A and B are shown apart, each in its own frame.
Chain A
Amino acid sequence: MSRKYVLPCAGYDRPGGKIGREAAEILADEDLEVVVGSVAALFAERPGEVKDFRSSQVICIDGCSVKCASKMAQARGNKDVLAVDVTESIAAIEDSKERGQAVVESVRRLYQNAVSKALPDFPSKDIDDSEFFIEKIDKFILKVQKGLYYSDNDFWARIEGEDVRIGASDLLQQMASDIFFVELAEIGKKVEFGDDVGGFESTKTAIEIITPISGTILERNELLENSPELVNESPYGPGWFYLVKPDDIDELELLKDASEYITYAVEKAKHELGKKV
């Protein structure tokens, strides 16, 4: 998850609170994906604050042992907060000017560790643009990854050994817009080609996940429960839905390959945009 909700201790009259705020300032200045949260706004469940909180990796900066920021984040339903203790982070730092930066480094280390642990199931191979067909339609850039199979419902299937991973195409996630909820079927469920197996909701619509292959669900992407926006951010990567053991791998021949699908997808996108491009 690239978006981070940094919740500093708001104890304005305490040294830890001041340093935590300095660290939040540095993080926000350096990283556009950082949103600085407010304990009081989170407490009051202000809609914008809650949206940021739920759609981001939450990182608390606690200024003292009471750990108000972490407690508030957990009270609001996030049990997976990353928490940095200012007191521990600055224990060996004598120069007061370097303390904010020391907390920033602690936050970065913690975040990197969490990210590397969170994505162990997905191939870490870098994806570059040469692996895509890319079309620009009006202001939209449409990407279709080569080597995958695509259904007319805009889901992709990728062969991985004897199994098949499935997800939503870039076109589908763009049409859906901001996805805030994904519901996935249970592991072990047997599915038939064209079955709906869960679904997702966005700010614009609700969409059923239509499986492009028959088989048995081996894995489902648990990260999507807390991070549904991964489907928007990386539909061919960490935003996948299921890993399926196919009944018949040849069923994929019923689907479009990437070169066929890009033509289909461009036409569909033009139609969605409601104009000839």
Chain B
Amino acid sequence: MSFKPKVGIISCSGEDCTGGNISREATLKALHELRPNETVTICLPLFLAGDEGERSFAKTFPTITVDGCNKLCAAISTARFSSDPSVKINVEDYAECISLNPKEKWRIGESATVVEHIAEEIARQVDRLREEWE
């Protein structure tokens, strides 16, 4: 049986925006419900603060970044400190930020469907990356 790595997921840390909240919720759903045994979380602030464990994992194993907006902080930071993320997911590809309800920056309401879609996409990509790993 061949080795299948866990996939690191790095989510946006935009606190005061709905896209950031959606990205985190989707990431948590994938991490804890959809693919709990196939994924690990990589803490973006810890990653930025220089934690070697987080950075070396992302250098070696496949990663998926989940950004809340087109500024792509998670993807850019991962590329700068480790290596290019294997997959870059952007919430704005699923829902234009302008259409998102600003009240949901703290608690998800009607964006639950978007969260669901992104979480499923994360899970699909996790499966693909593990399948293609050599």
Residues of A in contact with B (beta carbons under 8 Å apart): 8-14, 17, 21, 24-25, 28, 35-41, 43-44, 46, 66, 68-69, 71-72
Report chain A residues within 8 Å CB of B11: 12
Partner pick for A43 among B15, B27, B41, B73, CB 8 A cutoff: B73
B48 at the interface (CB under 8 A from A): yes
Partner pick for A72 among B27, B31, B45, CB 8 A cutoff: B45
Query: A14–B43 Cα gap in the complex (Å)?
Result: 9
Given contacts A8-B15, A10-B13, A13-B41, contact A40 B49 (CB under 8 A): no
Query: A9–B31 Cα gap in the complex (Å)?
Result: 19
B74 at the interface (CB under 8 A from A): yes
Q: Which of B13, B20, B45, B71 has the most A CB atoms < 10 Å from its CB?
A: B45
By beta carbon, the residue of chain B nearest A22 is B106
Given contacts A13-B28, A13-B31, A43-B77, contact A38 B15 (CB under 8 A): yes
B114 at the interface (CB under 8 A from A): no
Given contacts A36-B15, A72-B49, contact A44 B73 (CB under 8 A): yes
Report chain A residues within 8 Å CB of B76: 44
Query: A39–B11 Cα gap in the complex (Å)?
Result: 12
* Number of A-B residue pairs with CB-CB distance less than 8 Å in the complex they form: 78
Q: What does DSSP make chain B's interface, helix, strand, loop or mixed?
A: helix
Could you tell me if A44 and B43 are in contact, using CB atoms closer than 8 angstroms?
Answer: no
Report chain B residues within 8 Å CB of A12: 11, 13, 24, 27-28, 41, 43
Partner pick for A66 among B16, B46, B74, CB 8 A cutoff: B46
Closest chain A CB from B50 CB (angstroms): 8
Closest chain A CB from B86 CB (angstroms): 19
Report chain A residues within 8 Å CB of B20: 38
B96 at the interface (CB under 8 A from A): no
Could you tell me if B15 and A21 are in contact, using CB atoms closer than 8 angstroms?
Answer: yes
B12 at the interface (CB under 8 A from A): yes
Could you tell me if A41 and B73 are in contact, using CB atoms closer than 8 angstroms?
Answer: yes
By beta carbon, the residue of chain A nearest B13 is A10
Query: A264–B43 Cα gap in the complex (Å)?
Result: 59
Could you tell me if A10 and B106 are in contact, using CB atoms closer than 8 angstroms?
Answer: no
Closest chain B CB from A9 CB (angstroms): 6
Interface string of B45-81 (1 = CB under 8 A from A): 1101101000000000000000000010110110000
Closest chain B CB from A205 CB (angstroms): 31
Closest chain B CB from A112 CB (angstroms): 23
Query: A9–B46 Cα gap in the complex (Å)?
Result: 9
List 6 tightest A-B contacts by C-beta distance, closest first.
A10-B13, A68-B45, A40-B73, A13-B41, A39-B45, A40-B13
By beta carbon, the residue of chain B nearest A20 is B15
Query: A177–B77 Cα gap in the complex (Å)?
Result: 36
5 contacting pairs across A/B (C-beta < 8 A): A11-B45, A25-B106, A37-B16, A38-B20, A40-B45
Partner pick for B45 among A10, A36, A44, A46, CB 8 A cutoff: A10
Given contacts A13-B41, A66-B51, contact A38 B46 (CB under 8 A): no
Given contacts A38-B20, A40-B12, contact A69 B45 (CB under 8 A): yes
Report chain B residues within 8 Å CB of A72: 45, 48-49
- Name 12 extra pairs, CB < 8 A, besides A40-B13, A44-B73, A66-B46: A10-B45, A12-B11, A12-B13, A12-B27, A35-B16, A36-B16, A39-B45, A40-B14, A40-B77, A44-B77, A66-B49, A68-B45
